[in-house]
Amino acid sequence: MFKLPAILLGATILASCQSFNSVPNRTIANSGALKGFIDDIARQTQNTSNRMTSNQIEKKVLEYIKRKEANAAYGNWSQMGILDDQAKAIDGLYDDLPYMNKVQKWVTQNITDILDINPNIAQKAYKTILDSSPGGYNPYKLTNSQLDSLTLAAQDASSPFARGIKKREIFVKKEIRGVSNTSQRRILQENYKALNARVGTSPTVANNMHEIVEGAANISKRTGLPGLGKGCKPFNANASEDVLESFANVQNIRSKLVEAKAFEKAGGPFTKIDDVAQSKRLTQAELDEIDVEAFQKALNYTREEASLAVKRLKRAPCQVL
C-alpha cells in the first residue's frame, strides 16, 4: 500500500504516516485542465503530418513520466516533483492521487519535451487554461532573452533537466514580482532565496521548492493576504526531500482552492486583487478554513489533525504558513 509521510515542519510538529489508498472519492487531481489541453492538441495535430489522437498522446505522456532515460541520474518523474514510489503507483494520467496535480501541471507546461509538435500548437492549447485563470503565464510564449537563458542553462549544466528548472525559475520569479504588497513580496523573495540554495540537490527538490513559492504567490495575488509565513532557517535548510514533496502537495491544492473560492466570492475571474472590492475578497478566516481543507485533502488528515497542523505552522518559531 502506498504510504506518504505526514509533513514535518520544524523539530517535531507532526510525525505520522498516512495512507492515501484508504479514503475513497478523494477528488483531488484537477484532471479537467489536462484532459482539455490534450484534446485541444490532438485536434490541432489533425491538420499536420504528425496527427495524433488524445489516446495516443496520453499513452506517450504516461510512458514518458515513468521512464528513466539512458545515463540519466534521475527518472523523468523527478522533474515533476514526485518520488520513485509515487511514479510507480501511477496507472493513468487522471489518477486521483494527492500529487497528480503537480504531474498534470508539469505536463501542460512542458508538453513539447514529450511530443514532437510545433510550439505554437502548445501555446494555443495552453491559452485555454489561462482563460480560466487570468494573470498567469504561457510557458510556450517566451521572450528572446528568456530563450537564450534556457539555452545557456542546458549548455552549462550536466543535468538534462537544467533547462526545465531554469524555465520554471523564470516564471516563479515573475509570479513573485506580480504580488503587489511589498511586505508579502519580500517574504516570498526571502523564502525563495533560502530554498533556492537547495535547487542543485535534485530535480525533485527544485520542482517542489518552486511549487511551494509559486503557490504562495498565487494565493497572495488572489486574496491580498500572505501566501507563506516568514519561514525558518531550519526548515528551509533541512527539510527532507519527502517533506518538501508533501508540503508542495499541500501548497498546490491550497492554491487551487483559494483561486476557485476567490473567483466565486468576487463573482468571476479577475487579474488583480486591487480591482476586487474589499467585501468580495476572501478573509483571513476563510483562508484559514481553506488551509484546513488543503491539509485534509493532501495528507489525509482528519479535520482535527488538519486544524492542529495549521495552528502550529502559523506560530513561531517556524511560521511556514
DSSP string covering 223-244: HSS-SS--B-HHHHHH--HHHH
User: Could you tell me what percent of the chain has a pLDDT over 90?
Assistant: 62
pLDDT at 158: 60
Residue 154 half-sphere exposure toward CB, CA atoms < 13 A: 10
Query: What pLDDT score does 13 carry?
Result: 38
| pLDDT given for residue 229 in this prediction | 87
Report which secondary-structure segment, H or E, holds 5.
Answer: strand 3-5
- pLDDT above 70: percentage of residues in the chain: 88
Q: What is the largest CA-CA distance in the chain?
A: 59
Q: Kindly state whether residue 16 falls inside one of the protein's structural domains.
A: no
Q: Are residues 133 and 173 in the same domain?
A: no
- Domain of residue 175, residue span: 161-321
Residues 38, 99 within the same domain: yes
**pLDDT for the residue 157:** 58
Residues 74 and 165 in one domain: no
Residue 165 lies in a domain: yes
- Give me the pLDDT at residue 155, please: 65
Pair 107, 170 in one domain: no
Q: Report the pLDDT averaged over residues 150-173.
A: 76
Is 240 in the same domain as 308? Answer: yes
User: 43-47, 119-123, 162-166, 273-277: lowest mean pLDDT where?
Assistant: 162-166
Write down the pLDDT at residue 92.
96
Residues 191, 109 share a domain: no
Residues 107 and 198 in one domain: no
- Same domain? 194 vs 272: yes
| 208 in a structural domain | yes
* Domain assignment of residue 176, yes or no: yes
Q: Is residue 10 part of a domain?
A: no
Do 111 and 252 belong together in one domain?
Answer: no
Q: Is 7 a residue whose pLDDT tops 50? A: no
Predicted confidence band of residue 28 (pLDDT cuts 50, 70, 90)? very low
- Judging by beta carbons within 10 Å of its beta carbon (0-12, 13-18, 19+), is residue 27 exposed, middle or buried? exposed
Helices (H), 98-143: 100-109, 119-131
Report if residue 7 sits inside a domain: no
**Same domain flag for 195 and 269:** yes
Q: pLDDT value at position 156?
A: 60
Other CB atoms within a 10 A radius of the CB of residue 111 amount to 25
CB atoms within 10 A of CB 64: 17
* Same domain? 120 vs 211: no
Give, rounded to a whole angstrom, the gap between the first and last alpha carbons of the chain.
30
In a domain, 152, yes or no: no
Give the chain's domain count: 2
Q: What is the total residue count of the chain? A: 321
- Considering the domain boundaries, does residue 289 fall inside one? yes
Residue 206's identity, in one-letter code, is A
Residue 51 CA neighbour count, 13 Å, CB half: 4
Cβ neighbours of residue 160 under 8 Å, at least 6 residues apart?
A: 69, 72
Residue 26 has pLDDT above 60, yes or no: no
Q: Give the residue-averaged pLDDT of 75-98.
A: 95
Please identify, among 112, 141, 170, the residue that sits at the C-terminal boundary of a domain: 141
239 and 204, same domain (yes or no) = yes
Confidence class for position 159, pLDDT limits 50, 70, 90: low
Close Cβ partners of 134 (under 8 Å, ≥ 6 residues apart): 269, 270, 271
Look up residue 19 and give its three cell numbers.
495512507
Sorted by sequence, the CB contacts under 8 Å of residue 217 that are 6+ apart come out as 172, 175, 176, 178, 179, 188, 227
Say what the pLDDT of residue 10 is: 35
User: What are 283-310's pLDDT values in tens digits?
Assistant: 999 999 999 999 999 998 999 999 999 9
Question: Is the pLDDT confidence value at 29 over 60?
Answer: no
Whole-number pLDDT of residue 25? 38
- For the entire predicted model, the pTM comes to 0.86
Find the helix packing angle between 31-45 and 100-109, rounded to 10°: 30
Q: For 230-254, how does the pLDDT look when each residue is reduced to its tens digit (9 = 90+)?
A: 877 777 778 889 999 999 999 999 9
